Chain A
Amino acid sequence: GQNIDQPTEMTATEGAIVQINCTYQTSGFNGLFWYQQHAGEAPTFLSYNVLDGLEEKGRFSSFLSRSKGYSYLLLKELQMKDSASYLCAVTDSNYQLIWGAGTKLIIKP
């Protein structure tokens, strides 16, 4: 079956760095997405990786290793507004998006 695993919840301190991991087992691979979702709102796009390596976008970076079925989202200089759920999703061989259950990130002052 197809499966995406990420931690249920993480806690970090304002100003610090946090890494949210995602492992996947899917039938084929055509890209990996990270989305941010604040409580009561729709998910919004953060990053897209299709090749191995690190993609940096401001305070957020996303890493992909296709051979390991592994990705992480790195958030630097954490701000209180970063408190949200972070969703990992993989596009399979049929270009269907398979979603992880999300990681709730709690930022403490």
Chain B
Amino acid sequence: IAGITQAPTSQILAAGRRMTLRCTQDMRHNAMYWYRQDLGLGLRLIHYSNTAGTTGKGEVPDGYSVSRANTDDFPLTLASAVPSQTSVYFCASSDSEGKGYTFGSGTRLTVV
């Protein structure tokens, strides 16, 4: 692993199903983030974690949950997917001062 790894790369999901997007980093960054990116709206923060064991809500947290059991992993869960959650999801990490901000390659999710 080099940097941030996201899985899956893409997924088609039936509405109402539960889905977990995985994110793992090997840079020992304290902070991790989940964004969604929709055409014309730019990056919108869903949830973040400043350090292992803590999480916080971003701009658009509804319908999503996260956990941060350790430094490396920051999974994002959609408890019951809806079509409006169709988007490209990016995981990112940085040091405590927001430096070294690095993105994963993204997960393209389609909810039908």
Contact = CB atoms under 8 A, between A and B. Distances in A.
A joins B in a complex? yes
A63 interface: no
Residue of B40, B41, B103, B106 ringed by the most chain A CB atoms within 10 A: B103
B105 A42 contact: yes
B98 A96 contact: yes
Interface in A26-51: 30-31, 33, 41-45, 48
Interface residues of A, number: 19
Residue of A41, A87, A97, A102 ringed by the most chain B CB atoms within 10 A: A97
Interface string B63-106: 00000000000000000000000000010001011110111111
Contacts of A89: 101
Nearest to B33: A97
Range class of the B interface residue count: 20 to 34
Interface string B28-50: 00010100000011111100100
A31 B31 CA distance: 16
B42 A87 contact: yes
A30 B98 contact: yes
A42 B103 contact: yes
A95 B43 CA distance: 17
Given A42-B103, A42-B105, A31 B43 contact: no
A42 B96 CA distance: 21
Given A31-B98, A48-B99, A42 B90 contact: yes
A105 interface: no
